[in-house]
Amino acid sequence: MPLRLDASEALLDRARRVDATLADGYALARDRLIDGEYPVFARGAAGPYVWDVDGNRYVDLILAYGTVVLGHGAAEVTQAVSAELAAGFCPSMRKPVQVELLELLCEVVPGAEQALLLKTGSDATSAAVRLARAHTGRDGVIRWGYNGWHDWAATRPAGVPAAVREAVHTFAFNDLDDLERLLERHGHEIACCLMMPFEVELPEPGFLAGVQELLRRHGVVFVLDEMRSGFRLALGGAQEVYGLEPDLATYGKAMANGYPISALCGRRELMRRVGDVHISSTFFINAAEMAAAVATIDALRRDDHLERIARLGRRLQDELAASIARNGVAAGVTGAPQMPFVRFLDGDEQRREQDKETFYTAVVRRGVLLHPNHHWFICSAMSDEDLDAVVAACDAGFSLVGARR
């Protein structure tokens, strides 16, 4: 049965006149869910659940694109933020919690000798690029994955000067030869290579270490973009898991369980370039989000949240793989257990898109929010019973896809 989404649809109609993000052609991931099947407006969220404005409840595996790690509205985070708000969170001076958070980051992130606090992921990745340019005296950038919306990282060319686009290069993931060719051609003009450790495909053994080695050889600053992997794969993110030593690393999202704050961490020699460049915002000093980050990192350090997330993720991946095999679906489970994904694999594009639509429609109608075009995420507030519901919804989805063959 289709969900009742009348209240969502009514709000969407009102919003179309005034909300610029509903312009024709605005095609970022959040708007590419299954049209008419997914809710658009939420009434609220708690723990692993989201309620839409029509009153439907979902187990949430989108989790605000990976910003929620402890569950929506985790009590210790809310309390820390409330206390900071009550005390006055923007008094024109630094609050003590800023030092506390910076010390914490330098303790838990392996390569962090110093850190800089910003607000968004794009702030942090753009700051990394600017420091690398100042440090090397080079303008070029190699980037891989999604790294934000600023000129050097924009995924659509409109509005970006040609000169900026020409200075930015990319390469094929898991292909060291491709990166080597790029470095041989352009290495002398490249300031940094800024990359996610992986997207939905995991790195092959030795790939990330090989990237690090190639970059060192060419004097290119290595920036690991840990916006999704940080504080989720491990406290120190993928650099801890894969034993890497990036010069700089960017964090945000799960670091503060949904509050807007990001961090650039790294070697002192690079970080001290902050004194030579212009990186500033009125809001960088606001302390409420810093309190959220300290409370989140404290919780992640104190309890077994990350082990729990990994265990639930492995269970989900195993059960999905079994369901795919049982139902004879052309699909495969990929990604890290903490941020898994299913790829539909039919060689015929139209059939593949139809399989996807059938699956995600069935799943959302059964009260589970999965993103069709982006990692899913797991939070520690999710119980094994919630996961049972996710598995049952996915199984129903795969069975419908299988039955159409």
Ligand X SMILES: Cc1ncc(COP(=O)(O)O)c(C=O)c1O
Interface residues with ligand X (CB under 6 A) are 65, 120-122, 125, 145-148, 196, 225, 227-228, 252
At closest approach, how far in Å is the CB of 201 from ligand X?
15
Cα–Cα dist 323/332, whole Å:
10
Strand, coil or helix: 140: strand
Nearer to ligand X, 127 or 196 (CB): 196
At closest approach, how far in Å is the CB of 150 from ligand X?
8
Give the residue closest to ligand X by C-beta. Answer: 121
Cα–Cα dist 263/114, whole Å:
10
At closest approach, how far in Å is the CB of 190 from ligand X?
19
Nearer to ligand X, 366 or 374 (CB): 374
What are the C-alpha distances in Å from 61 to residues 8, 68, 140, 275, 292? 20, 10, 36, 40, 21
Nearest partner of 248 among 257, 256, 239, judged by Cα? 239
Nearer to ligand X, 121 or 337 (CB): 121
Nearer to ligand X, 265 or 362 (CB): 265
Spatial CB neighbours of 31, under 8 Å, sequence gap ≥ 6: 21
Compute φ and ψ for 191, nearest 5 degrees: -80, -45
At closest approach, how far in Å is the CB of 147 from ligand X?
5
Nearer to ligand X, 89 or 198 (CB): 198
At closest approach, how far in Å is the CB of 16 from ligand X?
23
Nearer to ligand X, 169 or 366 (CB): 169
* Owner of token pair 């002192």: 268
Nearer to ligand X, 124 or 297 (CB): 124
CA-based end-to-end distance of the chain: 21
Compute φ and ψ for 44, nearest 5 degrees: 180, -175
At closest approach, how far in Å is the CB of 235 from ligand X?
17
At closest approach, how far in Å is the CB of 80 from ligand X?
21
Spatial CB neighbours of 267, under 8 Å, sequence gap ≥ 6: 111, 113, 247, 248
Q: Are 339 and 377 in contact (CB under 8 A)?
A: yes
